[in-house]
Structure 1
Amino acid sequence: MTTTSNDTAKKGGVRVRVQRFGTFLSGMVMPNIGAFIAWGLITAFFIETGWTPVPALGGFPDAEGNEYLGLVGPMITYMLPLLLAYTGGKMVYDVRGGVVGVIATMGVIVGSDIPMFIGAMIMGPLAAWLMKKVDAIWDGKIKAGFEMLVNNFSAGILGGLLALAGFYGIAPVVSWLSGVLEGAVNWLVGLHLLPLASIFVEPGKVLFLNNAINHGVFTPLGTEQVLETGKSILFLIEANPGPGVGILLAFMFFGVGMSKASAPGAAIIQFFGGIHEIYFPYVLMKPMIIIAAIAGGMTGVAINAAFQTGLRAPASPGSIIAVLIQTAPDSYVGVILSVIGAAAVSFIISAVILRASRKRDLENENAGDLSDAIAKTEANKGKKSTVLGTMGGATDAAAAGDSGTATITGPISNIVFACDAGMGSSAMGASVLRNKLKKAGVSDVKVTNQAIANLTGDADLIVTQNELTDRAKQKSPNSIHVSVDNFMNSPKYDEVVQRVTESNAAEGSEGDNQ
């Protein structure tokens, strides 16, 4: 492989470790975003101040004074934290880790009077890791016939002990930490300094360092604020699509070369698709543009703070559609203005920067080439990107950089595209190969996308980006591994289609001759 995870860790240092931490948090939160959205919609419709208040669902007294538990409270108190705990535990130690993580997290939930998102994101993985270590103590030493007995009781005993530890030890600490973080946010809001968060968030996005803040701080605190006030501005600090679309529009009008030609399509993907990473190469190509991103982000936050707006739940992905769906009923004007204002400010500043260097850029035939900037973006991300692979004529390094294609022997019926989160880029890559196989007349091959952490080893062929292949091999050592530079237009796909067609046809012929 051209790049291994160890090499990357050495080169990236602290940044890479923060990225990995953010990726792990994302791995817990992202699969459960649908649950957050469901809770947000139920909250938006059925609480006392919602669109269609229903006491039995919203959990508030009716006209006769009857009390109801409702859906809103139990979902945020139990369902969402337990989902995070199970997902985190499963990432560490499969289903067994997920189950023990849920048991342990119940102690944290019951031991606190606030939603235990941070507690769940700590206890779920921690309990799974401890279960893994405990199992290793007597691995291979259990007498035949006693495996189920030992495994079940060890999980139950450890889970019970960790639930007690969570109740008496972890819950008070996490409650204190949540209070400190909430106090810091309220302090910034009280002093009207919350827009300053964009100074860190916007550059962090370009360097892919924002996941740790977004999923580790904004999502838990924002969800707690929703329970108290019905909405949270914290969901809008990172998700606002305004700064990105403003930058892309500026490149569309004032850019040169490929950056100008690709900007309209990128703007559509960023604004409506919610894939913010597509504008990062434009910033890296002209680092001064980060000023536009920061100013646009600060403008959006300032407008939302002035109008006291917020979302009911996280907007993921950061699409204008997702943002508007999650907007609280009294916040539409402020949210829409924040997007427009952020886009306008980032557009104006970007336009000034681009106009100032336009003459020099026109004289430089490589000025509008996004290739280097895309490479920098993918280096910052720590993996290749599907959406960026469609820009700037990016290829797989003429296939020379595509290392890792193994010799394919035997029938192939299960192909998996694997990436960090198992969404987004791997899903788009799977769709590309699926269409190629369909055009080739291959209909008996299953093509799916999955997170590397969830690989089970039963895939016949696994497609990953170069930087992630080593990790995929560790999870699924018996599979055939194909490394690509980007998921969208790798020349390896045609080779895979050809090999799949030939190997499956050969297997069919052997079956006919038997």
Structure 2
Amino acid sequence: MTTSSTTAKSGGARVGVQKFGTFVSGMVMPNIAAFIAWGFITALFIQTGWLPLLGIDPVWVQQLGGWSLDPEVTNTGLVGPMIVYLLPLLIANTGGRMVYGTRGGVIGTIATMGVIIGAGIPMFLGAMIVGPGAAWVMKKIDALWAGKIRAGFEMLVDNFSGGIVGMLLAVASFFLIAPIVTAISNGLESVIAFLVDNGLLPLASVFVEPGKILFLNNAINHGVFTPLGTAESLEKGQSILFLIEANPGPGLGILLAFLVFGVGLLRASAPGAILIHFVGGIHEIYFPYVLAKPLLVVAAIAGGATGVLTNVIFQSGLRAPASPGSIIAVLAQTPPGSIVGVLLSVVFSAAVSFAVAAVIIRAGRKRDLEAMANGDDALAAAVAKNAANKGKDSSVGDLLGTGAAATGAAAATSTATKIQNVVFACDAGMGSSAMGATVLRNKFAKAGIEGVNVTNKAIANLDGSEDLIITQDKLTERAEQKVPGAIHVSVDNFMNSPKYDEVVNMVGK
């Protein structure tokens, strides 16, 4: 456990990259439900969707899909307007709110309309730039006359200044930002097209898989692949980009290798981790396993590249993002023509990562058994390293029952302020932190502790109202910077950390 008196540590480049990645993915992740809704609408109602393929194509299906054969029906359906307007504007509004609250969201949305109309194509990248950028401009302009407005005129000034600034930013976005962002988008699409056309897309796994282990998975998937994949899906009906990071196969293979060839807690915890990873879609659960044996990143890369190559060969993909990366979410977004390719990409990637991981794990099995006999907890050390490298919450350390990163002082720590608000904080504010909050609530209930609110949040959303904050080791530093006055508890895994019992004892005093 660390407290507010803990000496501040230098964030370094890793924390900076994580913060940027968190900000970028933070604009997309709250709106993933909208992307999934668009994916379902596309999957069901477009001319090549499930309903028309099944022969169910009444006028209302054609109208919703925007392909009506009736010349008198001129509507464009839901698919096009949602991806061109709704999704980018949601991203812009979220980005604006992150910078300047509701006012920033409104101004960011207005300005982003200029980019959308000026470009004429889905402007996800433009929304990510203009949304928070316009909110920042509005924030700076409001600061010029803050506290100087005569009483009674505040609303008048706020409304007109917002309207005028929003109008000017929309016009500027139309003429200046739209052409630049269009060129960038076209450049990125050209790079992806080059990789696909030349069979080089599997090489993306060389960067994606190590990045996931460093807890950049949300930034990679939702900050890069989701916007590009959505634009491609509108044009082609599906995109392979949705499966580069979200494929659960590589992680499944590694966990299966530990189940078969691992020793100690790593092997004992593998079945639960497999369920959480493959069905629950929380990929963070397998990251500490890789860090227990860093060479396993080779298995992850090999499995990931195999999955991508399989989808390239079968020309398969998803209609919309699979979030979380559960096999259920993957299949739900798979179009009819891609079912075989997508399933094989998961199977083949799992098989390859299993084969490579099995060799690596078996090579060190004798050494692991000797270490376990000597009482060395290699897993706890790996979980601590995982937490340190990731800077984000994971589920394996707690699942394994190791609290490596936390010190043993939690039970002895006291605070003059009664603890009423306990928050599990992670990079995205969902997934493993939500599971951790559930675990602690159950422990409080069994201990008869009432009146303590246990929730989960993204670190970026911490507001100072938290009395006690529980984070993964690598994320504690960022949480301390955000809320230095709270009590901070570091755990290696949110699923079953022994530190929870210490927290229960502390809160129950």
**CA offsets per residue over residues 54-110 of structure 1, 9 Å max, x none?**
111111132456332211111111111111111111111111111111111111111
| CA–CA separation in structure 1 for the residues paired with 2:477 and 2:22 | 17
Read off the aligned partner of 2:19 and give its amino acid letter.
R
| CA–CA separation in structure 1 for the residues paired with 2:501 and 2:290 | 33
| CA–CA separation in structure 1 for the residues paired with 2:428 and 2:140 | 25
Cα 1:396/1:382, change in 2 over 3 Å: closer
Residue matched to 1:312: 319
| Aligned residue runs from structure 1 range 76-91, under 5 A | 76-91=83-98
**CA offsets per residue over residues 410-441 of structure 1, 9 Å max, x none?**
x94x5543333221233223222322333344
Q: CA RMSD in A?
A: 2.7
**CA offsets per residue over residues 106-150 of structure 1, 9 Å max, x none?**
111111121010100111111111122112222222222222122
Read off the aligned partner of 1:170 and give its amino acid letter.
I
How far 1:212 moved relative to its partner? 3.6
How far 1:51 moved relative to its partner? 0.7
| CA–CA separation in structure 2 for the residues paired with 1:139 and 1:475 | 25
Residue matched to 2:250: 243
2:403 aligns with one of 394, 400, 403: 394
| Aligned residue runs from structure 1 range 285-296, under 5 A | 285-296=292-303
SS in 2 for 1:235: helix
Cα 1:249/1:386, change in 2 over 3 Å: closer
Residue 60 in structure 1 maps to residue 67 in structure 2: yes
Read off the aligned partner of 1:34 and give its amino acid letter.
A
Cα 1:403/1:112, change in 2 over 3 Å: farther
Residue matched to 2:47: 48
SS in 1 for 2:489: strand
Residue matched to 1:511: none
Read off the aligned partner of 1:110 and give its amino acid letter.
I
1:171 aligns with one of 170, 174, 178: 178
Q: Is the 8 A contact 2:215 2:392 kept in 1?
A: no
- Length, aligned pairs only: 495
1:374 aligns with one of 383, 390, 403: 383
| Aligned residue runs from structure 1 range 17-28, under 5 A | 17-28=16-27
Residue 9 in structure 1 maps to residue 11 in structure 2: yes
SS in 2 for 1:464: strand
Residue matched to 1:464: 470
**CA offsets per residue over residues 144-171 of structure 1, 9 Å max, x none?**
2222122222222211111111111111
Residue matched to 2:360: 353
Q: Is the 8 A contact 1:218 1:235 kept in 2?
A: yes
Residue 264 in structure 1 maps to residue 271 in structure 2: yes
Cα 1:499/1:374, change in 2 over 3 Å: closer
**CA offsets per residue over residues 338-380 of structure 1, 9 Å max, x none?**
1000011111111122222323333333677211111111112
Cα 1:164/1:317, change in 2 over 3 Å: same
2:206 aligns with one of 178, 199, 217: 199
| CA–CA separation in structure 1 for the residues paired with 2:401 and 2:505 | 27
| CA–CA separation in structure 1 for the residues paired with 2:450 and 2:92 | 38
TM-score normalized by the length of structure 2: 0.89
Residue matched to 2:333: 326
Read off the aligned partner of 1:9 and give its amino acid letter.
G
| CA–CA separation in structure 1 for the residues paired with 2:165 and 2:414 | 43
Cα 1:290/1:447, change in 2 over 3 Å: closer
Residue 230 in structure 1 maps to residue 267 in structure 2: no
SS in 2 for 1:418: strand
How far 1:290 moved relative to its partner? 1.6
2:491 aligns with one of 485, 488, 497: 485
| CA–CA separation in structure 2 for the residues paired with 1:298 and 1:169 | 39
Residue matched to 1:506: none
| CA–CA separation in structure 2 for the residues paired with 1:321 and 1:292 | 24
Residue 100 in structure 1 maps to residue 119 in structure 2: no
Cα 1:415/1:203, change in 2 over 3 Å: closer
Residue matched to 2:344: 337
Query: Relative to structure 2, which stretch is displaced further, 357-366 or 287-296?
Result: 357-366
Read off the aligned partner of 1:357 and give its amino acid letter.
G
Residue matched to 2:56: none
Read off the aligned partner of 1:354 and give its amino acid letter.
I
| CA–CA separation in structure 2 for the residues paired with 1:499 and 1:218 | 43
TM-score normalized by the length of structure 1: 0.88
Residue matched to 1:33: 32
Query: Relative to structure 2, which stretch is displaced further, 202-211 or 273-282?
Result: 202-211
2:120 aligns with one of 107, 113, 126: 113
Q: Is the 8 A contact 1:396 1:491 kept in 2?
A: no
Unaligned runs of 5+ in 2: 53-60
| CA–CA separation in structure 2 for the residues paired with 1:181 and 1:93 | 29
| CA–CA separation in structure 1 for the residues paired with 2:450 and 2:380 | 35
| CA–CA separation in structure 2 for the residues paired with 1:387 and 1:307 | 34
Q: Is the 8 A contact 1:387 1:425 kept in 2?
A: no
| CA–CA separation in structure 2 for the residues paired with 1:233 and 1:207 | 23
Query: Relative to structure 2, which stretch is displaced further, 295-304 or 388-397?
Result: 388-397
| CA–CA separation in structure 2 for the residues paired with 1:241 and 1:127 | 37
Cα 1:350/1:469, change in 2 over 3 Å: closer
Query: Relative to structure 2, which stretch is displaced further, 418-427 or 164-173?
Result: 418-427
Q: Is the 8 A contact 2:320 2:333 kept in 1?
A: yes
Query: Relative to structure 2, which stretch is displaced further, 21-30 or 432-441?
Result: 432-441
Read off the aligned partner of 1:160 and give its amino acid letter.
M
Quote the sequence identity (%).
64
| CA–CA separation in structure 2 for the residues paired with 1:89 and 1:402 | 41
| CA–CA separation in structure 2 for the residues paired with 1:424 and 1:403 | 30
Residue matched to 2:57: none
